[in-house]
Amino acid sequence: MTGLAVAVAHRQGAFRLDAAFAAEGGVTALFGRSGSGKTTLVNVIGGLVRPDRGSVVLDGERLVDTAAGRFVPPHRRRIGYVFQESRLFPHLSVRGNLLFGRRLARAEDGIGFAEVVDLLGIGHLLARRPNGLSGGERQRVAIGRALLARPRLLLMDEPLAALDEARKAEILPFLERLRDLGRVPIVYVSHALPEVTRLADRIVVLEEGRVAAAGSVDAVTARLDVASLRGAREAGAVLAARVEAHDPAYALTRLASPAGPLHVPLVDRPVGAAVRILVSARDVTLSLARPAGTSALNVLAGTVAEIGALVPTDPTAELRLACGSAHLVVRLTRRSLADMGLRPGLPVFASVKSVALLD
């Protein structure tokens, strides 16, 4: 059996963690608000917390099995860990920090020094010390050090949380390259939905120490019953799409998506390239008839699939719209919901004002 399987229970003061999930390769995001149990769960996987009850299995090896009294210590798990802070050795150069990771390697195969340096774009930093690096550069070196230990799993606990927006924008492309390389499965902890939708293949949503939802990014982001996903400004649905055609005369690209064709500003991707897009809940408007004489380029036919729970003190509502073989999330006012007589099963048309390209 390959992959990671976790089923643990643990009490830490007044907080109780009781969570189970499985992941096979790629990037699995542990997503939730602060205090939901993300870091406790990732520390259980890494061996920094010994759970009261349960098991952790990685590639068929039982790292934790409380019923059998088994607990493999962290240094024997071959799991890399990247924290919020880079935790580099200040007295070593970047090269020295990277080579320290390689000295920890227990396997001869796996990613090599030159490949890591190229992957993370840190060749020009090798002679420098950590205190002369930006926050984004330090995190890239920390990731490189973890990779050179040749782990069979990489844990990343909010690696961008301490960075400003400019540094986050700097490091995200390198994380995407690491994901696309596919050499090491990653468990990525975050409370930032844009990071998760951009990087992850699947999401495990934690709420108050329990798994509220788990599955592919597109399936989970379209759910209305997950409190930590709803109401967020970035809430929406993630779709897999393909570049279908370019229209340089109007600086547009047409995408084929499971929800229907969508036009976006011209992208530098070849025809046929696979992309992921985010359709934000606040960028979709509904009408009962196909709009005429409108400037909207993207109008999709759909059916109301579900209406989220209504809160008397909240003027907005969310609904899930079935479009083709995909689902969109729509945020509108409760007044519009009532005036339009929206209900499950009702055919509608969705005008999509903008689409965000995730990768």
Residue ranges of alpha helices (H) inside the chain are: 38-46, 94-103, 113-120, 135-148, 165-181, 193-199, 217-221, 334-339
pTM above 0.95, yes or no: no
Cβ–Cβ contacts within 10 Å for residue 16, how many?
A: 15
* Domain stops at, among 165, 196, 221: 221
* Same-domain status, 118 and 202: yes
Residue 230 lies in a domain: no
Percent share of the chain, pLDDT over 90: 55
* Same-domain status, 83 and 172: yes
Q: 184-238 pLDDT, tens per residue? A: 899 999 988 888 888 999 999 999 999 999 999 988 988 888 877 765 656 788 8
Return the pLDDT at 136.
85
* Same-domain status, 179 and 290: no
* Domain stops at, among 169, 186, 221: 221
For 220-240, the DSSP string reads HHT-SS-TTTTT-TT-EEEEE
pLDDT at 122 over 70: yes
pLDDT at 111 over 80: no
* Same-domain status, 248 and 217: no
* Same-domain status, 70 and 182: yes
Residue 231 lies in a domain: no
Return the structure tokens found at 320: 């899930």
Return the pLDDT at 333.
94
For residues 155 and 80, the answer to whether their CB atoms sit within 8 Å is yes
* Domain stops at, among 196, 221, 246: 221
Total number of domains constituting the chain: 2
For residues 330 and 319, the answer to whether their CB atoms sit within 8 Å is yes
DSSP 336: H
Return the pLDDT at 106.
58
Report the CATH number at residue 284: 2.40.50.100
Mean per-residue pLDDT, 111-124? 85
* Same-domain status, 303 and 162: no
Report the CATH number at residue 49: 3.40.50.300
* Same-domain status, 196 and 318: no
* Same-domain status, 114 and 157: yes
The residue segments making up the domain with residue 178 are: 4-221
Residue 330 lies in a domain: yes
* Same-domain status, 13 and 48: yes
* Same-domain status, 269 and 208: no
Q: Report how far residue 195's alpha carbon sits from residue 222's, in angstroms, rounded to the nearest whole number.
A: 17
